Every structure is written in structure tokens, then in C-alpha cells.
Structure 1
Amino acid sequence: MIAEISRKTTANKKRVLFLVHRKELIDQIKNTFEFVGVDTNYVQFAMVQTIVRNLDKTLTPDLIITDESHHGLAASYQKIYDYFSDVRRLGFTATPVRLNGDGLGGINDILIEGVSVEWLIENERLAPYDYYAPKLMQQENLKIGHLKEFTKQSIDKELESHKAIYGDVIKHYLKLAEGEQAIAYCHSLDSSLKTAQAFNDAGITAKHIDAKTNKKERDDTIQAFRDKEIKVLCNVDLIGEGFDVPDCSTVIMLRPTKSLSLYIQQSMRGMRYKPNKRSIIIDHVANVNTFGLPDMSRQWTLNAKKKVKYDIETPVKTCIQCFGTYAGIDRKCPYCGHEQPIEVKETVYEEVDQDLEKVDKFEMKLNFKTAEECSSLKELQELAKEKNYKKGWAWVQAKRLGIR
């Protein structure tokens, strides 16, 4: 879609400024543009940081296209947008939400949604998937930092205190995806290195790469992964947006997150379409309990979310009764009122070695079973769809309950 828009623009001798946030994406994008027939003489491919440093030397474009535009509220992007304030802009993203949950209204005035992930799977544009996760998310001891994301230190404490988690990862890879190309998302450099070593010790070729890996080694590693010489590629948030490995079928999630954007980018990384391919998502940290399945319907908006103040290092609790997750020190669950028992620290890891179970759409789709439990028209519509109610039922219930 981006390439076709650029082809039509350059065919009229109009200039396109194409912004990316990582240099690794430029060669990949150039190849796609050339394949589609874009006149690249009229396209400037550039990293945001490069343009910011050279605004006065940059030719004025007729169109600015921003790839992965959920980054666009950053100060560097806005300097470019302000400098070329009269130039039309298009932003593209699979996740129109910032890492902190805010919408993108600060830099966009229109949100155009494409077809749903469910449609893309049904129409063979994305691969179908099987999702495996533990039943209960163990996040009681994780902390929220100032970026409203789990802190590295608290994840270290929970995931690396017991070496059993690495054996668990190997066991489930062999059980669910043996021989498949897999990307493992880890939460820290040390964790990624240890995970790669664990796979290699088990006779499964694996390698770690990170942002500081020199370009030649990183390019050689990724090519070896594409050539299936490496089975498992371990990283820390490096392989995500725009990483083009169509034959990668498996994602191993070893990094808890509170970011919907990050969750979608990582969980769907193995869903690039290929005939007869089925992606396997192995979620060892139960992110699915927080966000639902990758293809569930979501309501996107340009508006900022309602601000919630978090104290640095606020503990996060998961109710063992209703699985509701909340920040705070209260033992009483705000969702169901269940009084959380005081847990002995040594029991935190009891479920680390349990078998992961397949998560079905029906199981994850709804957290409400009656109209009275719904808080929006969209939820009523989802309930109607699951219950096979007649068309119009949701609207009648919304009017009855005073829901908009």
C-alpha cells in the first residue's frame, strides 16, 4: 500500500520523504519500492535522526510518509513535521497506539482503519496461529517503572532466579514447534544470551543479537536465520517492527509487557503469510491474559487515554480468583473483592514448569457474559456475535441500559 502510493506520487514527479526509525529497515523498503516500480529518484529514504540534524539541507518534499508512525509523537518526528508544516503527511502502523497507551491525535487528524486481523487470516494475508500460555499470569512481584512498563530489575528477579525456566522453554519448543524457525523475545541482554546458550546446549542452533552487535555480524546472523542455518534467534525488542522473515513461524515470549503495541508487534511476528503455514505463539509470561489474542477486535482511537498516575516501583498484583491485574499494595481485588492470601515467596515459581495450554478464541474473547456486564456498544456487539443473537440485539440492549 505504501509503495503504491509512492509510485503514483513519484509518477507525477512529486517528491516523497520516507521516514524510518531504524536504519536496518531502509534497504528492505528500497527493495520493495523498486519491485513495485517506484521512481526512487524522487524518494528520500532517511532515518528520523538524520533528517532532524539536516533540516535546512533537506529538499522540501510533496509528501511525508512515516513508517511505524506510532513513534511519531516523539520530539524528533515533531521537529520534522513542524519544519515542513505545509507538507501533507501519511502515517502507517499496525498498532495505532503509543507504548504508553495514548492515541496518535497529536500528529494526526484522521484515523483510517484497515481490515481486521481476523479478515486478514481468513483471506490468506496472514497465517493462522495456535497460542499456548500458562493459565495464570505470575506478575505479583513485578514492578512498574516511570515509563509505565515493568522494570528490568523486577523481571530479572522473577524470571532468572530459577534456571528451570530455561529448561521449560526448551521443553515447550520441542513439544510444540520442533524444527521450526523461532524468534525468542527476552527482557534483558543477559537473559537473551542465557536463552541462546540453553538452546545450543540442547543441540538446537541458536544465536543472540542486540543493538550493539556490529552490522556485519548482525546481517550475517539474520541471513543465516533466513537460510535456516539458525533455528532460534534471541533478542531484546530488536526484532519487531518491519523485520522481514516470512518463513519464521514461531514466537517465544519471555518478556512480560504492559504495552499493547509491543505485544501485538511481537506476538504476530511469525504470522507473515505462506501457503500451509501455521504460526505458533508460545507465551511463557502469559501476556495473553492482559491483552487477549492477537486477532481479537480492538477499538482504536486518536484520543489520549485517561491519565493514571503510577508511583515508581508500584507493585502489580494478579487476583487468583478472577485473574484481574491491578497496580497497588491492596490485597483485596478491586474487580471481584477477593482477599488475596499472603503468599510464601518460595511458591512464586510453582507454575514455571507446568505445561502451557492452548488458548482458544472462545476462552479469551470476552470477559463479560451478560448485557449488564457490558460497558460499551462494542462489547454488546461482541457478546451478540459470540451468542449468535439476532441483528439489532446489541442496539436494543444499549438503549435499554443507557450505553452509548
Structure 2
Amino acid sequence: MVENLSLFNAEAPKPKPAKARISLRDYQEEAVNAVLEGWTEHDSVMITVPTGGGKTIIASSLIGERLEHGRILFLAHREELLHQTVDKASMVLGDIDAGVVQADLDEHRAQIVVGSVQTLSRERRLERVLAYGDFATVIIDECHHATATTYRKIMDRMKAGKPGGPKLLGVTATPDRADKVGLMAVFEKIVYELGIFDLIDRGHLVDIVAKEIEIDGLDLSGVRTSRGDYVASDLSRALLENHTPEIVAKAMHELIPERKSIVFVPSVAMAEETAAAIREMGIKAGFVSGGTPKDERKQILEDLDSGALRAVVNVGVLTEGFDSPSVDAVVMAAPTKSRTKFVQCIGRGLRLNPGKEDCVVLDLTPNSRTHELQSVPTLFGLPPKDFKKKSLRQVVEQARMDIKAGKYTGDLKITDLGNLRKQRFHWVTLPNGWHALPSKDVTLILRYGGVTPMGVPGWEVWQVKGGQAERVREAVPLEYAQSGAEEELRNAGSHTSILVQEDAPWRSGPASEKQLSLCRNVGTVANRDKAGSTSLETDST
């Protein structure tokens, strides 16, 4: 039994040298190769990879490829993104000479400069960075912002993306802009594209369950629009007049009471009212906005991560640079016309986490739905009625069968309907909080312990085989540990075991007499109802 191995004891065996902390997923390698090939013909290229797909991991790998050519500048517009980039680059590349240039931080002599756009758009700060050596590569994170004057000022001074200047790469979750300003004025070619469903289908993001919150009397036709989206003050007024905070809180209590949720709203006033309404429904909730002190915001998000809070209402601060894989519900209480914003928001709940099967997305539905209003069905070009009882994967699977039968008539916006589906694995959470993936020949364990390159505790991957426990991956954040463990399972050839398959028929079918007998032998009472479903409880006798 695995439980008797020394892995579970206080004194674990001395580990053998571990493999690299982060290894690229298949599509990440595809993206890296596409960029390198694109740079042979173009000076500026762009890739689009969904939130949760590891854009920074891809960029970090490219940094490693380009360091021999000269210094690297990585541009971002949020403080959280700057420090995340340094942390993730360290996981991919090991010890690196990386420095942050932002406000009072001035590590401008580094080989890899991770810089704030707001800071480097100031001539004095940019010239200080450039004076220490030329740059061979410029990478822009969330590059749908790259048409802004601040970005253009930096790129023009450096001649980034121009003949003779540094190579330029833009990375984003979506190349769309609500204000219709074209990114192709900055980037010559999109060399790699991957959509949300592509990663769901490959097993790298969780499935989506879409539900609607109907708001009687809500009419958005009179709400002003600016730069392609609703004016926040007008939108907030319309929502508050229709008692949206109370309606949202009630829907969360009825539909997702046990889920860990983030709620998007258009104003601070609505955030305060919504958080209060959610708390009145018995759900522990907090709220953050741009005006929340940094230490307070950090504590609130840590409380969400730990489970001390079940919901956090936010005003535009969690759309970018926020990673909490355990979040499994997103409430869009800020209707939007912006596809970019919608994709970023729902992406916050799609990251993998052991035991997490899907993410519920709650959408507000006004009286008169317009084709401009974003929702899960419109995002993928699927009829809203199809989501009444099905998840996104199930809806698309039905569309696949209808297309094959020649009877599909919808407006599907998913480009590849081939049989891409990569197997999803069923993780088991152990009593000590670790996670196990048991198969016939080998068991992979995610063990909390060790220190990540960021200097904080992380999760190691251990392999139990033939009665021996061996660490095979060093400490990284949980979602990367899970991905690495699943890769180890595939490499070991054990991924076909029905013990690990998330959708194995035996999980949903009635328990066999042999399974029931096993339960009785280990002191567990198995009760089978008339429908054949089996529930387990500990035998207290």
C-alpha cells in the first residue's frame, strides 16, 4: 500500500536529482518554434494563448533562446505581472540575471529587464536602461494594449520590430480590441493562435458550465458606450437600480454556494453592495478595487486562496495578473461588449487544480439581449439553449456529431473540431492535503514541501513505483506540479489505466459486487439506492 511507504512518514528518503522544474507542454513548444521561425522572416510577431495557457512560460522559454543575442526587455503594465514574470522565468531558466524597473525599483543593469510601461515611457528612465547596453529582443505582455502611446513611445525609441532593431514579440489572450484599433499596425504577423476550447479539449483548462442570471427590468439600451464598451458609471447605475447585487447574491447561494468565486462588477459602490449582499446569504466575501491598499488586497486574495473567503468581488483589478487555480466560479456582474475583457475574466476560473472538474460562469441576462453582449454561448458561436443542461465540452461534442451527420446549422466559432481530446485524469485528495494520481503500475503524488524559485513553499512531484518513492520534480506552484505529474504518467505509459481516467465508465456506473466487497473489507459501508447509485460511509461499529 502507498500509505506504508516512507513518502508519507516524517522523514522522507533523500531525493535523487530532480528534472527541470518546468517542462513545456506540447502547444507551448509549438508556440516557441512558431515565434523563432516567424522571426526569420519578420521583425515583429504575435501569439495568442488563452489565460491559463502559460503565456509567460512561453515567453520565458523564448528569453532563454534569445539571451545569446543580447539583452531582453519584457514590458508589462501591472506590478503583479512584473514580479510574476521574474518568478516564472526563474522556474523555466533557473538562475538568471533579471531585474525589475518600476517606480522606485531600478534594476536597469540586468541582462533581462522586466519593465513597467508607465515607468519606461518616461524618457529619463528609458535612457538609463538603454545606456547600459543594447537590447536584442523586446517582449510585450498583454499586447492588446500595445497601440497605446506609452508603448509606442518605447518601441519607437528602441526601433523594436524594425529592421536593424530588436526583435519584437507580443503575447495576449486575444488580439481583439473593443475600440477596433488594429494590432497589425504594431505586429507584422500572428504566428501562433490557440483558443480557450483548444486548451479545454487538450485537457489543459477545465470545462465551462454556463448559467444565466435573469434580471427582470434590466435594459442596457440606454447605457452609453465609449471605446467599444459600456461606460462603467452608467452601467453601474442601471444595475443598481434593478437591485442586481441582491439578485446576484441569491443566485450564488442557489447555484454555487460551495464554490470559490470571483465576481466582476463595474464600480466600487456596486462592489460594496454586492459583497454585503453575498455575506447576508451566508457566504464569506470581500471586495477589492484599485483603491484598496496593497497589503489589504494581498490579504484578501490570500484569504480567497486559503478558503477563508469563498468569494471576492472586484472592480477591474483581477482581469489580468491574478492566478488562483482553486477558483472554480466566475460571476460576470458587469455585462460587457468587449470580447477581450470577457475572455480575460472567465479565464480566471479555468486553470487546472487537482479535483477541479469545471468552472461555473454566471452571466447577467438583461431583458433585451443584443448580439454585442458577450456571453459563453456567443463567445463560441453556440445557442444559449444548448447550455441549459450541458457543459461546453458536451455542447461541442454534440455539435461534432451533428456536423459529422451533416445536420448542424449553427455559427460555431471553434476552428478545430477534430478529435484533439487529450485524456483528463482523476486526482484524489489525501487526508493530509496532498494529491494522488494512482494507476496500475505507478502512483504520482503532489506533495506540499520544498521551496520554489520564488522563495515560497511549493509542490513537489513524487513517483511511487515498485514500493519505492522517488521525487521526480522539484517544488513549483500547484498547477505546474499537476501538469508535470500528468506528463510523467504519460511518459511512463500508464495514462491508459482506467484507474486514472476522469471519464472512465466505472465512475458513473453502479458499483460491482467485487467493489462492494472490497469496501466492506476495509471497514466502509456501501449503500446502493434503487437507481443503482452507490454512496459510501465509514463503518462506526
Q: Taking structure 2 as the reference length, what is the TM-score of the superposition?
A: 0.54
Instruction: For residues 77-102 of structure 1, give each alpha carbon's deviation from its aligned partner in whole angstroms, at most 9, with x where no partner exists.
Output: 00011011111110100111223134
CA contact (8 A) 1:141 1:154 kept: no
State the 1:74 CA deviation: 0.2
Q: Which runs of structure 2 are paired with 1:174-185 in the superposition (5 Å)? A: 174-185=253-264
Q: Which has the larger radius of gyration?
A: 2
Partner of 1:148: 228
CA contact (8 A) 1:64 1:87 kept: yes
Partner of 1:66: 140
Counterpart AA for 1:32: K
Partner of 2:82: 26
State the 1:244 CA deviation: 0.9
Moved more, 178-187 or 98-107: 98-107
Q: Which runs of structure 2 are paired with 1:358-369 in the superposition (5 Å)? A: none
CA contact (8 A) 2:262 2:330 kept: yes
Mapped pair 1:209 → 2:288: yes
Q: Distance in 2 between matches of 1:22 and 1:63?
A: 20
Correspondence for 2:127 among 30, 52, 56? 56
State the 1:242 CA deviation: 2.5
TM-aligned CA distance change 1:296 to 1:36, over 3 Å: same
**Where does structure 1 lack aligned partners over 5 or more consecutive residues?**
299-321, 324-355, 366-382, 391-404
Q: Which runs of structure 2 are paired with 1:313-352 in the superposition (5 Å)? A: none
CA contact (8 A) 2:73 2:139 kept: yes
Q: Taking structure 1 as the reference length, what is the TM-score of the superposition?
A: 0.71
Q: Distance in 2 between matches of 1:363 and 1:159?
A: 32
Q: Distance in 1 between matches of 2:320 and 2:193?
A: 18
Correspondence for 1:171 among 228, 247, 250? 250
Mapped pair 1:388 → 2:404: yes
State the 1:389 CA deviation: 5.5
State the 1:52 CA deviation: 1.1
Q: Distance in 1 between matches of 2:347 and 2:307?
A: 20
State the 1:218 CA deviation: 1.2
Q: Which runs of structure 2 are paired with 1:65-214 in the superposition (5 Å)? A: 65-85=139-159, 86-134=165-213, 138-163=218-243, 165-214=244-293
SS at 2:135 equivalent: coil
State the 1:279 CA deviation: 0.5
TM-aligned CA distance change 1:363 to 1:187, over 3 Å: farther
Q: Distance in 1 between matches of 2:138 and 2:361?
A: 35
Counterpart AA for 2:294: K
Partner of 2:430: none
SS at 1:65 equivalent: strand
CA contact (8 A) 1:133 1:358 kept: no
TM-aligned CA distance change 1:275 to 1:150, over 3 Å: same
Mapped pair 1:8 → 2:91: no
Q: Which runs of structure 2 are paired with 1:260-299 in the superposition (5 Å)? A: 260-277=339-356, 278-285=358-365, 290-293=373-376
Higher RCO, 1 or 2 (CA under 8 Å, sep at least 6)?
1
CA contact (8 A) 1:255 1:285 kept: no
Larger strand fraction of residues: 2
Partner of 2:434: none
SS at 1:131 equivalent: strand
SS at 1:242 equivalent: coil
State the 1:147 CA deviation: 2.5
Identity of aligned residues (%): 24
CA contact (8 A) 1:16 1:43 kept: yes
Instruction: For residues 288-311 of structure 1, give each alpha carbon's deviation from its aligned partner in whole angstroms, at most 9, with x where no partner exists.
Output: 96335279558xxxxxxxxxxxxx
Counterpart AA for 2:75: L
**Where does structure 2 lack aligned partners over 5 or more consecutive residues?**
1-57, 99-110, 160-164, 407-541
CA contact (8 A) 1:200 1:206 kept: yes
CA contact (8 A) 1:49 1:76 kept: yes
Q: Distance in 2 between matches of 1:4 and 1:179?
A: 38
SS at 1:90 equivalent: strand
SS at 1:194 equivalent: helix
TM-aligned CA distance change 1:35 to 1:140, over 3 Å: closer
CA contact (8 A) 2:263 2:312 kept: yes
Partner of 2:472: none
CA RMSD of aligned residues (A): 3.2
CA contact (8 A) 2:142 2:172 kept: yes
CA contact (8 A) 1:185 1:253 kept: yes
State the 1:13 CA deviation: 6.3
Query: How many residues get paired?
Result: 319
Partner of 1:316: none
CA contact (8 A) 1:133 1:357 kept: no
Moved more, 149-158 or 56-65: 149-158
